[in-house]
């Protein structure tokens, strides 16, 4: 930064399937909020421009909120470092924050161009995060489990007050020095509390799971030091009018600041155009192949009509336009259905892996209980605290029976999931979805990863019409060498 300053960034990994047009479906918002028109859960898609050394895609987000010293270094004169300079910068408008990103990027291009990451031929640049980028990172991204990601806040094992400047911690009634409390799982400090943070998008209401059509004011995310701790949540978003009509000036609030991301133009430069064109055509073609019989018939009829219109000598430009629009609409709908089918298959694989993990864990418990009963049976009755027939012995037997029944029930459910999913796999790219699930498990060190090869074998077997018997299933997923020990408590 100017004035010999610097800013720390954290990598935010976004797993995709590797193609230039691939992205990741992500869930945002909350289902239990009373402000459904503002925060109701919805699905969106996220991708990242930069390639890590291991092939993953990522964007970079500021580890801390922009401080007063950092803001002054870019927009004014070089500050004298001080404790006050480490306070989160607030009382700036959304436009002020955007101007900061423009000036800093211009300075970087002139003075430290090689420090910027690149996407194809394009250099990265500084900007405000989008709402999707902000919330995905705030929740912990790919570093947390699915249940932790969807929770009210990212995991806070030491209590939310150890992670957020809000409520009782904000007794001074102003922004605090950044980075004084614990970070979220991605290493981001003060992502909740301290100052609310401007994001790039204009505000939109929630139309029961999708954005409303009218763009509104600016958005501040994450709550601030004036927010009660009990109300902090990663879905929290506030609409801020761009202008203060009492002062006839842009809105500059004492509890709103910002952090930045390193982003890139999406195209990646001219050399990437051909790859994007090929990726688009491939997705469109695959969607057509995965369509139902009715869709295929509609596409064939449409193609015949287009060919007939092209050969007519009369002016049918309006009809051609309408047919082209209809063709594009059918292709888009087929692509959406194919994407939904992939997501459903991924969810079924993850659900099956969870059931397999349960079967395996119950197998561990059953083995321990059986060994305990056998040891009691071998003891001298005079030294045995729980001889056969005693209440303690019967309690162990009852526990063993319950766990055996639970394992059988879980195995039945596992078998049903695999069978039902495999019945519809004739048009699914099973290998690709399995690889995606595997990468997600590896990213967050999911304990189901060890069982995924066995689960994959069962899916493939049923998909190829080679069903696996329940005994073979139990033999595979009941291998205690594959069953990981319980996860340590956070």
Interstrand relation of 57-62 and 118-119 (parallel, antiparallel or unpaired): unpaired
- Quick check: 101 and 260 in contact, CB under 8 A? yes
For residues 354 and 446, give the distance between their C-alpha atoms in angstroms, rounded to a whole number: 10
Q: Supply the Cα-derived Rg of the chain in whole angstroms.
A: 28
Q: What is the mean pLDDT of residues 251-262?
A: 96
Q: What is the pLDDT of residues 381-421, one digit of tens each?
A: 777 787 888 888 889 899 999 999 999 999 899 888 888 88
Check residue 425 and give its pLDDT: 62
Region 110-130: what's the mean pLDDT?
93
pLDDT for the residue 427: 46
Q: Averaged over 13-25, what is the pLDDT?
A: 80
- Whether the per-residue pLDDT at 489 is higher than 50: the answer is no
pLDDT single digits (tens) 322-373: 666 676 677 777 777 777 777 888 888 888 888 988 888 888 889 888 988 8
Q: Residue 256: beta bridge partners? A: 196
> Angle between the 317-378 and 293-311 helix axes, to the nearest 10 degrees?
160
pLDDT tens sequence across 410-459: 989 988 888 888 776 654 567 888 888 888 888 888 888 888 888 888 88
pLDDT in tens, 179-229: 999 999 999 999 999 999 999 999 999 888 888 989 999 999 999 999 999
24 φ, ψ (degrees, to nearest 5): -115, 125
3-class SS at 198? Answer: strand
Residue-level pLDDT at 284: 63
pLDDT above 50 (res 490) = no
- Residue 13 phi/psi, 5-degree rounding, is -75, 135
Burial class (CB in 10 A: 0-12, 13-18, 19+), 228: exposed
Dist CA 279 CA 291 (whole Å)? 18
From the list 157, 161, 193, the residue with the least C-alpha distance to 175 is 193
Q: Which of 255, 259, 221 is nearest to 28 (CA)?
A: 221
Higher-pLDDT residue of 325 and 242 is: 242
CB 258 within 8 A of CB 128: yes
* pLDDT of residue 16 exceeding 90: no
Q: Is the model's pTM score more than 0.85?
A: no
Whats the size of the chain, residue-wise?
Answer: 490
């Amino acid at each position: 930064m100017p004035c010999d300053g610097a800013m720390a960034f954290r990598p935010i990994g976004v797993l995709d399937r590797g193609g230039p047009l691939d992205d990741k479906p992500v869930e945002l918002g909350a289902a239990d909020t009373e402000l459904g028109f503002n925060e109701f859960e919805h699905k969106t898609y996220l991708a990242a421009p930069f390639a890590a050394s291991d092939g993953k895609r990522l964007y970079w987000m500021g580890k801390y909120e922009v401080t007063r010293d950092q803001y002054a270094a870019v927009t004014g004169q070089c500050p004298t470092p001080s404790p006050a300079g480490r306070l989160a910068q607030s009382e700036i408008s959304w436009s002020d924050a955007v101007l900061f990103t423009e000036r800093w990027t211009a300075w970087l291009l002139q003075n430290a161009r090689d420090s910027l990451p690149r996407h194809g031929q394009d250099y990265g640049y500084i900007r405000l995060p989008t709402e999707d980028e902000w919330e995905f990172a705030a929740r912990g991204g790919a570093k947390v489990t699915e249940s932790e990601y969807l929770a009210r806040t990212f995991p806070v094992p030491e209590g939310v007050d150890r992670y957020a400047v809000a409520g009782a911690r904000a007794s001074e009634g102003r922004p605090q020095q950044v980075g004084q409390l614990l970070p979220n799982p991605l290493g981001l400090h003060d992502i909740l509390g301290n100052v609310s943070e401007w994001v790039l998008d204009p505000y939109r209401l929630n139309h029961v799971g999708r954005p409303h059509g009218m763009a509104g004011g600016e958005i501040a995310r994450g709550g601030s030091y004036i927010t009660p701790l009990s109300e902090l949540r990663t879905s929290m978003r506030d609409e801020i009018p761009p202008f203060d009509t009492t002062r006839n000036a842009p809105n500059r609030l004492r509890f709103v600041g910002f952090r930045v991301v390193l982003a890139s133009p999406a195209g990646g430069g001219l050399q990437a155009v051909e790859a994007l064109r090929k990726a688009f055509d491939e997705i469109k073609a695959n969607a057509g192949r995965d369509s139902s019989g009715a869709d295929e018939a509609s596409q064939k009829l449409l193609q015949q009509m287009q060919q007939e219109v092209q050969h007519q000598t009369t002016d049918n430009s309006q009809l051609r336009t309408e047919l082209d629009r209809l063709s594009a609409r059918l292709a888009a709908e087929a692509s959406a259905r194919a994407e939904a089918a992939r997501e459903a298959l991924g969810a079924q694989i993850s659900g099956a892996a969870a059931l397999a993990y349960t079967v395996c864990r119950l197998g561990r418990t059953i083995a321990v209980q059986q060994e305990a009963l056998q040891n009691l049976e071998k003891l001298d009755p005079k030294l045995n605290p729980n001889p056969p027939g005693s209440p303690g012995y019967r309690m162990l037997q009852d526990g063993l029976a319950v766990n055996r029944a639970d394992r059988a029930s879980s195995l039945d459910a596992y078998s049903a999931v695999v069978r039902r999913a495999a019945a519809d796999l004739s048009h699914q790219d099973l290998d690709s979805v399995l690889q995606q699930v595997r990468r997600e498990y590896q990213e967050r060190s999911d304990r189901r990863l060890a069982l995924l090869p066995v689960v994959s074998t069962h899916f493939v077997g049923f998909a190829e019409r080679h069903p696996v018997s329940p005994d073979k299933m139990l033999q595979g997923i009941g291998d205690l060498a594959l069953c990981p020990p319980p996860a340590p408590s956070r």
